[in-house]
């Protein structure tokens, strides 16, 4: 039985590898390895609560806003339970939602065009979709322009991107005037025009299937539909099938009613459940049986100490933990969110994916396109109702003791931050990320992670190019910076870096 080592597997933050055991042309076992130590939880210890969001957003330069948001939700939850904080003002919540919405559109565009889309381009798959070709494709170039515009608009409210400055305990410190809001709205509308109206989804899909001309009023939709057509023609609706269990925290507070815009939920055994907050806290654990951590680094994130490295541990093969809900692996991401929200815009997953709740490589891609359309519409609505004269932040103090959990939805799926505070200092912290939910290792019972399950059974025609395994891992949009972090040595060292001069060699 040949063994295939793929390293790296992703087009971003390459510290993930996959070992495949192949028998008679079929993958029979998968080991998903995260290759760097995780340590942010250690860094925030003994800091003031208000310092923590600034540190945790540095987990990653791609997933920056969602970590700052989840961290804020965690310390605000702790302060609320301690009786020293009430609520973020509605306009503060709305500003956070607007920034999170722009971030999600930016992030999904990166995924669809730069990280997963090239797998279905003419350059990689001989698909005829040369607009998707990396670097040189016209669709790829136009998508990059939209990403840049969205980050520039984001910085109007966030101060900078990545790593914004204005998300703060109690709300948002930004105080935009009407002219700034109008500038942001114009940018979002321009990106929306590139994407095209939702009613053009079907015509754009037909045009992509026919390799027809690009519609002037739905260029982005045409290119995104080209990715879906390429995936469907590659059979992506039948490979990369996960365990069929989904978990979503929900996303966006919207205009102030009691429910999230995209509802949280757990889907398993053919039924959708809506666990209470207490049930989620009690049900989530992290298994470290096959992770390079000490045995006491696992368990409930509410009680476990920060992860302690054990790189020589027998049977371990990853720096990622194995999150479980009530002992089961759970797929998370846009597909999980839309299943929890009971949404299938344009019936894309029902018709092209075979079943809107099917865990497949195709449905993961389709869900991202669908979420782009949904969030675009809400984002424009939120900008219209933003009141620049209303307060955006509440009073805050670090002087309290308590515990809190911040449940949020990153672009890649369910994210949670867990904090314990004593006398104004952080004494415990845990981060459970979407990528560890999806790409973690096996647990003590030998149950594979979602990706390991999804890759088992995939046919490998060419051991030198297991393309469908690569398509599958990328369909989860993994971001390893969120799951693992560098552990620096105690010794000092020096590195000399030669700057790149304009016109010089790289």
Mean pLDDT, residues 415-423 taken together? 97
Nearest to 62 by CA among 114, 127, 130: 114
Buried b (16+ CB within 10 A) or exposed e, 447-477: bbbbbbbbbbebebeeeeebebbbbbbbbbb
Mean pLDDT, residues 484-499 taken together? 48
DSSP conformational letter for 30 = E
Mean pLDDT, residues 457-474 taken together? 93
Q: At residue 89, does pLDDT exceed 90? A: yes
Measured at the alpha carbon of residue 483, what is the angle toward residues 297 and 249, in degrees to the nearest 5? 95
Q: At residue 459, does pLDDT exceed 50? A: yes
Question: Does residue 503 fall inside a structural domain?
Answer: no
Q: At residue 493, does pLDDT exceed 90? A: no
DSSP count for the chain of H helices, then E strands = 16, 13
Question: Does residue 311 fall inside a structural domain?
Answer: yes
For residue 429, CA distances in Å to 34, 150, 331, 456, 496 come to: 21, 32, 23, 34, 35
Q: Is residue 53 a contact partner of residue 169, using CB atoms and an 8 Å limit?
A: yes
- pLDDT score recorded for residue 63: 77
Distance CA(458)–CA(460), nearest Å, equals: 6
- pLDDT score recorded for residue 60: 75
Domain encompassing residue 476: 3-482
- Kindly calculate the radius of gyration of the chain based on its CA atoms and give it in whole angstroms: 22
Q: At residue 9, does pLDDT exceed 90? A: no
Question: What are the tens digits of pLDDT across the range 92-117?
Answer: 999 999 999 999 999 999 999 999 99
- pLDDT score recorded for residue 503: 42
Q: At residue 210, does pLDDT exceed 90? A: yes
Distance CA(267)–CA(243), nearest Å, equals: 11
Please give the torsion angle defined by the CA atoms of residues 183, 188, 194 and 197, in that order, rounded to the nearest 10 degrees.
-130
Buried b (16+ CB within 10 A) or exposed e, 113-148: bbbbbbbbbbbbbebebbbbbeeebebbebbeebbe
Question: Does residue 505 fall inside a structural domain?
Answer: no
What's 44's domain CATH number?
1.10.645.10
Distance CA(427)–CA(442), nearest Å, equals: 29
Q: At residue 219, does pLDDT exceed 80? A: yes
Question: Does residue 491 fall inside a structural domain?
Answer: no
Tokens of 318: 């990853």
DSSP conformational letter for 252 = -
- pLDDT score recorded for residue 378: 93
- pLDDT score recorded for residue 501: 39
Residue 160 CB-density burial (10 A; 0-12 exposed, 13-18 middle, 19+ buried): exposed
Question: Does residue 322 fall inside a structural domain?
Answer: yes
Residue 264 CB-density burial (10 A; 0-12 exposed, 13-18 middle, 19+ buried): buried
Contacts 24+ apart (CB under 8 A), 456-461: 456/27, 456/28, 456/29, 456/30, 457/26, 457/27, 457/239, 457/241, 458/26, 458/27, 458/239, 458/240, 459/25, 459/26, 459/27, 459/239, 460/4, 460/20, 460/22, 460/25, 460/26, 460/27, 461/25
Question: DSSP letter string over 86-140?
Answer: ----HHHHHHHHHHHHHHHHHHHHHIIIIISGGGGSHHHH--S-GGGSTTT-HHH
β-sheet bridge partners, residue 160: none
Mean pLDDT, residues 8-28 taken together? 86
Q: Is residue 321 a contact partner of residue 436, using CB atoms and an 8 Å limit?
A: yes
Buried b (16+ CB within 10 A) or exposed e, 221-242: bbbbbbbbbbbbebebbbbbbb
- pLDDT score recorded for residue 369: 97
DSSP conformational letter for 304 = P
pTM of the model as a whole = 0.92
Question: What are the tens digits of pLDDT across the range 38-50?
Answer: 678 888 999 999 9
- What's the domain count of the chain? 1
Mean pLDDT, residues 425-429 taken together? 96
Distance CA(310)–CA(264), nearest Å, equals: 35
13: confidence class by pLDDT, cuts 50, 70, 90 = low
SS3 assignment, position 174: coil
Question: What are the tens digits of pLDDT across the range 298-349?
Answer: 999 999 988 888 999 999 999 999 999 999 999 999 999 999 999 999 999 9
SS3 assignment, position 17: strand
Question: What are the tens digits of pLDDT across the range 400-413?
Answer: 999 999 999 999 99
Distance CA(384)–CA(381), nearest Å, equals: 5
Tokens of 19: 């070992």
Question: What are the tens digits of pLDDT across the range 365-379?
Answer: 999 999 999 999 999
Tokens of 102: 């722009």
Question: Does residue 500 fall inside a structural domain?
Answer: no
β-sheet bridge partners, residue 293: 309
- pLDDT score recorded for residue 39: 76
Nearest to 60 by CA among 47, 51, 70, 50: 70
Question: What are the tens digits of pLDDT across the range 264-287?
Answer: 999 999 999 999 999 999 999 999
**Residue at token pair 């390293």:** 7
**In terms of DSSP bridges, do strands 167-168 and 402-410 run parallel, antiparallel, or are they unpaired?**
unpaired
Mean pLDDT, residues 236-256 taken together? 92
Question: Does residue 270 fall inside a structural domain?
Answer: yes
Q: Percent of the chain beyond pLDDT 70?
A: 92
Mean pLDDT, residues 225-234 taken together? 98
Q: At residue 495, does pLDDT exceed 70? A: no
479: confidence class by pLDDT, cuts 50, 70, 90 = confident
Distance CA(348)–CA(74), nearest Å, equals: 35
Distance CA(421)–CA(232), nearest Å, equals: 49
- pLDDT score recorded for residue 499: 44
Tokens of 265: 């939920």
Q: At residue 158, does pLDDT exceed 60? A: yes
| pLDDT, the chain, mean | 91
Distance CA(498)–CA(96), nearest Å, equals: 39
Please tell me which residue, 325 or 462, carries the higher pLDDT value: 325
Question: Does residue 488 fall inside a structural domain?
Answer: no
Q: Is residue 460 a contact partner of residue 81, using CB atoms and an 8 Å limit?
A: no
Mean pLDDT, residues 414-425 taken together? 97
């Amino acid at each position: 039985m040949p063994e295939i080592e793929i390293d790296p597997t992703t087009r971003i933050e390459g510290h993930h590898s996959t070992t495949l055991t192949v028998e008679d042309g079929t993958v029979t076992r998968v080991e998903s390895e995260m290759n760097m130590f995780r340590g942010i939880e250690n860094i925030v210890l003994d800091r003031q609560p208000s310092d923590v969001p600034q540190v945790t957003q540095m987990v990653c330069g791609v997933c920056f806003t969602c970590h700052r948001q989840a961290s804020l939700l965690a310390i605000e939850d702790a302060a609320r339970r301690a009786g020293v904080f009430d609520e973020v003002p509605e306009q503060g919540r709305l500003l956070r939602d607007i920034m999170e919405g722009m971030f999600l559109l930016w992030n999904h565009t990166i995924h669809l065009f730069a990280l997963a889309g090239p797998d279905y381009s003419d350059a990689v798959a001989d698909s005829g979709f040369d607009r998707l070709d990396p670097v040189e494709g016209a669709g790829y170039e136009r998508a990059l322009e939209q990403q840049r515009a969205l980050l520039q608009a984001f910085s109007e409210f966030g101060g900078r991107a990545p790593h914004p400055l204005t998300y703060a305990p109690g709300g948002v410190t930004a105080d935009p005037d009407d002219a700034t809001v109008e500038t942001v709205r114009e940018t979002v509308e321009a990106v929306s025009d590139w994407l095209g109206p939702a009613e053009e989804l079907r015509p754009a899909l037909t045009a992509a299937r026919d390799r027809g001309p690009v519609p002037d009023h739905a260029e982005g939709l045409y290119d995104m539909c080209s990715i879906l057509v390429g995936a469907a023609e590659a059979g992506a609706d039948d490979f990369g099938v996960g365990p069929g269990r989904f978990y979503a925290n929900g996303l966006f507070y919207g205009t102030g009613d009691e429910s999230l815009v995209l509802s949280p939920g757990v889907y398993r055994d053919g039924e959708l459940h809506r666990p209470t907050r207490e049930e989620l806290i009690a049900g989530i654990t992290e298994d470290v049986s096959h992770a390079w951590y000490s045995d006491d680094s696992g368990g409930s994130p509410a009680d476990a100490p920060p992860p302690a490295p054990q790189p020589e541990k027998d049977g371990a093969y990853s720096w990622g933990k194995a999150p479980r809900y009530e002992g089961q692996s759970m797929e998370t991401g846009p597909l999980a969110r839309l299943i929890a929200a009971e949404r299938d815009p344009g019936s894309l997953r029902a018709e092209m994916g075979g079943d809107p709740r099917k865990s497949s490589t195709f449905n993961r891609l389709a869900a991202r396109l669908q979420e782009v359309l949904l969030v675009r519409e809400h984002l424009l609505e939120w900008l219209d109702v933003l009141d620049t004269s209303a307060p955006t932040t509440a009073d805050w103090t670090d002087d309290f003791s308590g515990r809190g959990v911040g449940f949020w939805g990153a672009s890649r799926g369910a994210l949670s931050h867990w904090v314990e505070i004593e006398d104004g200092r952080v004494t415990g912290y845990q981060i459970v990320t979407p990528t560890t939910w999806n790409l973690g290792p096996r647990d003590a019972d030998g149950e594979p992670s979602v990706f390991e399950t999804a890759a088992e059974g995939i046919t490998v025609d060419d051991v030198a190019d297991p393309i469908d395994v690569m398509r599958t891992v990328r369909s989860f949009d993994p971001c390893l910076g969120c799951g693992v972090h560098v552990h620096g040595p105690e010794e000092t060292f020096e590195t000399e870096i030669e700057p790149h001069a304009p016109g010089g060699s790289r």
